[in-house]
Chain A
Amino acid sequence: MQLSRRDFFKQAAAGGIAITVSPFGPVQAALGVARPFLAHETLPEASGPGPVLGRIDGAAKVTGTKLYASDFRAADMPGWPPQTRHALLLRAPDATHVYEGLDLDALDPSAKPDVVVRAADLARVGVTVPPFYAGHLLCPEGETPLYLGQPVALLLFESFDAFDRARLAFRDGALLKFGPETGPQTRPNYAAYRFTRVAGAGPDAPDLYSPIQAGWISPGFTEGSGRPIWAPLPVSEGGDYAQGAAHGEAIRAELKAADPAVLTLERAFATQSVDPMFLEPEAGLAWYEPSGKVLDIVIGVQSPFEAAEAMATLFSAAQPDSRPARIDAKFAYVGGGFGGRDHTPFPLYLALAAMFFPGKPVRLAHDRFQQFQGGIKRHAFAMRSQIGVDRASGRIRAFAADHVLDGGGLANYSSSVAVVGATGAIGMYSVPKVDVTTVAEHTRGVTAGSMRGYGTLQTLTALETLIDEVATALPLDPIELRRRNALPTGGRTMTGNPFSVSVRAPEILDKLEAHPIWRDRAAHRQAARPGLLVGTGVACATKDFGTGADCALGSVTIDAEGRVAIHGDAVEMGNGIGTALANRVAAHIGRRADAVTVAQVDVFDALGLVTSGDPYAISQADQDAAARDPRWVPAISSATSASIGAHVGTQAAAEAARVVFRFGLWPAALALWGIAPRDPRGKQWRDAYWQADMLILPGLSPLPLKAIAAKAHEQGGVTGAMAHAFSRWAWAEATFALPGEDWTADIDALAIRRGSGGFERLARTSVAFPPADYNRIGTAFSSMCGTAVRVEIDRATGALTIAKAYSVFECGEVLVPQVVLGQAQGGFAMGVGYALLETLPPFEDGPGNGQWNLGRYVVARASDLPLHTLEIEVLPPLSPREPPKGMAEVVMIPVVPALLNAIHAATGHRFQSLPVTQAMIKDILA
């Protein structure tokens, strides 16, 4: 078992460093005794008091069970030395002067670190920075930090007390020495793209030009300042670009032409940087055991597989005494993510802390100042948009926009955010001519990455406020304007492909139009109490879910007593993925799981997966060649991000459950019913269904799951299945030879367990991966949401109150209704914070200076929200078979432009930047 696990990871991890987790162990009920890590993380606890309803992690979370990475200390880990040491990661509050080192002499002797790790130490050891985090992990002395908040040194302490004193001494940054002013470091931009589409003459005519046809294009040339040159330059190497750019320039010329039949508006909009502000600051525990060369890690991230690989890469070419043979990574529950824990560099520093303190368990934990200073941020966008609308028909003729993103100090997800923002920039509308340029720039700001609604939140706020302005200018009712332009089913997006999922814009608009908030808006405006301005706003969004190369690992087993256990690789960060897995599996096998373990990346070794290439960039020829190996998949495990949990994150377990039912429980049920194998009813497994834990086939006596499970074990039937699923805007589909039937399903790898045996891999007999060309799709998966809000603004103070709000959205099959509603309520709150409260200035006054906390950075509290007057409506799935769609991001987006549109309705003023604060409203009313 151990060997195959290593084999598996040798394929995946760099430099032959194996990655494992500790084996699963029994739950030790006695509290106070160090329990195996996975016993903490497997929920609900066998001995736990949890009610049957509610979240599977509910009881653990209301009793203070150790669950999050920040909860664990060395003493909690069986087999570890009991004493926890502490690490302090120091970050630069300055990125325009030369860093000259630490002033350790100024530190009180009682606060002295035992080990100081500097850039030179990393060079000496020979660490390899994973390409995703390219840049010095620690700023070398004598160089200007690349960005505010760049780490400069890692201090390691034997005692908590010394660490505690030192972190206070370093809090204001004064013990870091800086020399001459150099100005900020300049770096090339992270990404620049142009997305241009020119539709054909009618809805069914092929596009004249689109990214799907021509591929994605980037300008090949930059100005001295580093800005891309967007003009179509007539040079050979820019040929592909020049063709698209020529179309784009023609669209812009058309928008500029003064056609009286067309209303043309050009507007700027700027969005701010914000912090995900998940409540658990990043934290972890690590121990390098030098004799066995094992690096043990406990951490909570959204991207466990990536974090493990990144840590392995870090040491892949290190000096032998600093090179672990094995990384034993344990991934914990996460205290909020929102994208801010997806591909974060934090695990690298945790691993370094352990490596430079061999033999000693060491804890690295941000405080809130440090989390603001070093955590991943949302990109600030500067946008300029042009729209041309036919005055007579109210149809949008053309749209052009230019986006500039502040990517901060490291590339991280800047390129993806630029693409998603640009390709989402026309929202849920059908626009025949579109030209959008986007560039993500390096700056000395704190690194920006992927945060809830990324890219689209920014560009749809600009779009939906612009649409509102168009409606006023035409004039045309804002909902009617949207209806006339709404993307129809089968309509093409900006990249030239249609959505492959349900498109329900008209229903969303109908719902908004009929809602009393919208319907009665004039009456409420007129009935405003003295001193108050009342306004109602509406906005819509469509938001991609998935990234175009998403996968899931899952296993389901049932024992002879009928107890169900699920393992998944998706991460629980509040999203309810464990509960969603349990519910989705229960639909197939009649029982909510007795044990669910999430964030597991290496309990699936029986699948023997291998991978190669970049799933986002692979050629068709390479994919075809690789796919001949029945163990090959385009990617092994994904981050839990991009609202992918319900659709992809539960897919492998759900398909595994189907296999367990079809080839384990169903044959057992037939035996219990006494139905002979050749009886026609033997094929009617699709007609059977569960009522609680009783299996019903009309005309036969219901069978309890427990009896079926016992029979399945007795028969040596399939009692466990393990699967891998891959989606590139469509599922990979494969066929497996199962007993008595070739089984084709939306998975690309499968292993089964018979009776109480071990898992055995089944080689797929055929497979169809989604074409490599699908990588040209911006998104094919999208969910829609609309929001209406009524605000009341105090004329004298500018104070805004949300009097009433309504959000309506669709997400296919709802796996856990309360989680879906909760996400929508939380998304509303985060939207309010983004629209009205939260902001981080760039650069020296911003979070990189290490002085930011929640007194200055204000997020929405209950008193900022319409708790009792927020109405959420989820459209039922189009059909009972419609699969789940991601919804956790889209629910946040229309809240923001709806608020701005309501503010306009109340005050007559259109704000062109975020957030719109009370002071700003007061100013325009003065």
Chain B
Amino acid sequence: MRSGLSLGAAFLAASLLVGAAASRSDAGEPSTLAPPQSFAGIADPEARSAAYFTELGKVLTHPRCTNCHPAGDRPRQGDEARPHQPPVFRGADGKGLPALRCASCHRGANFDPAGLPGHPIWHLAPAEMAWEGKTVPQICAQIKDPARNGGRSPGDLIAHIGDDTLVGWAWAPGRGRSPALGTQKAARALVEAWVESGAACP
């Protein structure tokens, strides 16, 4: 029944936000992130480190992230990751062309009555940080490369993924969008574990 399904989905979303125990979405995919300690059984340190990143990759390849880490200059939109309508482009500062700036629509916060996401510094990730269409190992290599990660050290990555509020928007994207897996805190824990374990790539 439609009504039953919708209520179920709402419950699921709520439980995700408070970081409740692992549950599964309709598609059968896990909807939370495994904590670092769940990988303790992997004896090989490098394999374990890579496993942390593989788990984190579920976030990095989520439309909430890839839509604004697009392969080209045009962001994508929605859970279907369709090309952004209206067509908007990166522009000189990653905040849009002069005629249609990101902030024209994307204000300081989500505006749920219109289903419009927002954040004070809404912008596209730089072109060299494009993740769209890439595999988790490719993203891993990229994210470790200061030339392609905004000159960040591994420690900076903990803060970027773990504390940045625009990144954090991915877990509270407002009405009509599914949040990234798990919580930002859980993602931070994975990045920390990955960095501390030598930042191996899968």
> Which residues of A are in contact with B by a Cβ distance under 8 Å?
93-94, 97, 103, 164, 168, 172-179, 854-856, 858, 861, 863
Contacts and interface: CB of A to CB of B under 8 A. Distances in A.
The 7 nearest A-B residue pairs measured at CB: A174-B6, A855-B85, A178-B2, A94-B2, A177-B3, A178-B1, A168-B113
| Residue from the set A97, A179, A855 with the largest chain B CB neighbour count within 10 Å | A855
B29 interface: no
B3 A103 contact: yes
A103 B6 CA distance: 13
Contacts of B85: 854-855, 858
B3 A176 contact: yes
B2 A174 contact: yes
Interface of B: 1-3, 6-7, 10, 77-78, 80, 82, 85-87, 112-113
B86 A178 contact: no
B77 A174 contact: no
Contacts of B86: 861
Nearest to B85: A855
B83 to A, nearest CB: 8
Contacts of A856: 78, 80, 82
A98 to B, nearest CB: 10
Nearest to B6: A174
Contacts of B80: 856
A168 B116 CA distance: 13
B174 to A, nearest CB: 12
Nearest to B5: A174
Contacts of B77: 855
Nearest to B176: A172
Nearest to A859: B85
B3 A178 contact: yes
Contacts of A168: 112-113
A104 to B, nearest CB: 13
Given A855-B77, A856-B82, A863 B3 contact: no
Contacts of A176: 2-3
Contacts of A855: 77-78, 82, 85
A596 B77 CA distance: 45
B78 to A, nearest CB: 6
A179 B1 contact: yes
Contacts of A175: 3
B28 to A, nearest CB: 19
A93 B5 CA distance: 13
Contacts of B2: 93-94, 97, 173-174, 176, 178
B87 A863 contact: yes
B3 A861 contact: no
A854 B10 CA distance: 25
A58 B106 CA distance: 34
B89 to A, nearest CB: 11
30 contacts: A93-B2, A94-B2, A97-B1, A97-B2, A103-B3, A164-B113, A168-B112, A168-B113, A173-B6, A174-B2, A174-B3, A174-B6, A174-B7, A175-B3, A176-B2, A176-B3, A177-B1, A177-B3, A178-B1, A178-B2, A179-B1, A855-B78, A855-B82, A855-B85, A856-B78, A856-B80, A856-B82, A858-B85, A861-B86, A863-B87
A861 B7 contact: no
Contacts of A93: 2
Contacts, number: 37
Contacts of A94: 2
A176 B112 CA distance: 21
B105 to A, nearest CB: 12
A103 B2 CA distance: 12
A172 B6 CA distance: 9
Q: Which of A174, A179, A854, A856 has the most CB of B within 10 A?
A: A174
A97 B1 CA distance: 8
A97 B86 CA distance: 36
B14 to A, nearest CB: 14
B137 to A, nearest CB: 23
A173 B2 CA distance: 8
Nearest to A96: B2
B148 to A, nearest CB: 22
Contacts of A172: 6
Given A179-B1, A855-B78, 12 more contacts: A93-B2, A94-B2, A97-B2, A174-B6, A174-B7, A178-B1, A178-B3, A854-B85, A855-B82, A855-B85, A858-B85, A861-B86
A103 B1 CA distance: 14
Contacts of A174: 2-3, 6-7, 10
Contacts of A164: 113
A509 to B, nearest CB: 37
A829 to B, nearest CB: 15
B97 to A, nearest CB: 12
Contacts of A178: 1-3
A861 B86 CA distance: 9
Nearest to A168: B113
B117 to A, nearest CB: 13
A382 to B, nearest CB: 26
B201 to A, nearest CB: 28
A864 to B, nearest CB: 10
B87 to A, nearest CB: 6
Contacts of B3: 103, 174-178
A920 B73 CA distance: 22
B87 A861 contact: yes
A186 to B, nearest CB: 21
Nearest to A172: B6
Contacts of A177: 1, 3
Nearest to A851: B176
A94 B80 CA distance: 22
A403 to B, nearest CB: 32
Nearest to A167: B113
A164 B10 CA distance: 21
Contacts of B87: 861, 863
Contacts of B82: 855-856
Nearest to B3: A177
A376 B86 CA distance: 24
A259 B59 CA distance: 63
Contacts of A858: 85
A172 B115 CA distance: 12
Nearest to A175: B3
Contacts of B113: 164, 168
B93 to A, nearest CB: 22
Contacts of B10: 174
Contacts of A179: 1
Contacts of A173: 2, 6
Contacts of A863: 87
**B3, B77, B85 pick with most chain A CB within 10 angstroms:** B3
A46 to B, nearest CB: 38
A172 B7 CA distance: 11
A542 B56 CA distance: 59
Nearest to A854: B85
Contacts of A854: 85
A179 B3 CA distance: 9
Q: Which of A93, A97, A164, A172 neighbours the largest number of chain B CB atoms within 10 Å of its CB? A: A172
B43 to A, nearest CB: 42
Nearest to B112: A168
A648 B82 CA distance: 44
A110 to B, nearest CB: 14
Contacts of B6: 172-174
A854 B84 CA distance: 10
A92 to B, nearest CB: 9
A921 B82 CA distance: 17
Contacts of B78: 855-856
Nearest to A864: B87
A887 to B, nearest CB: 30
A255 to B, nearest CB: 43
A173 B1 CA distance: 12
B76 to A, nearest CB: 10
B61 to A, nearest CB: 20
Nearest to A177: B3
Nearest to B9: A174
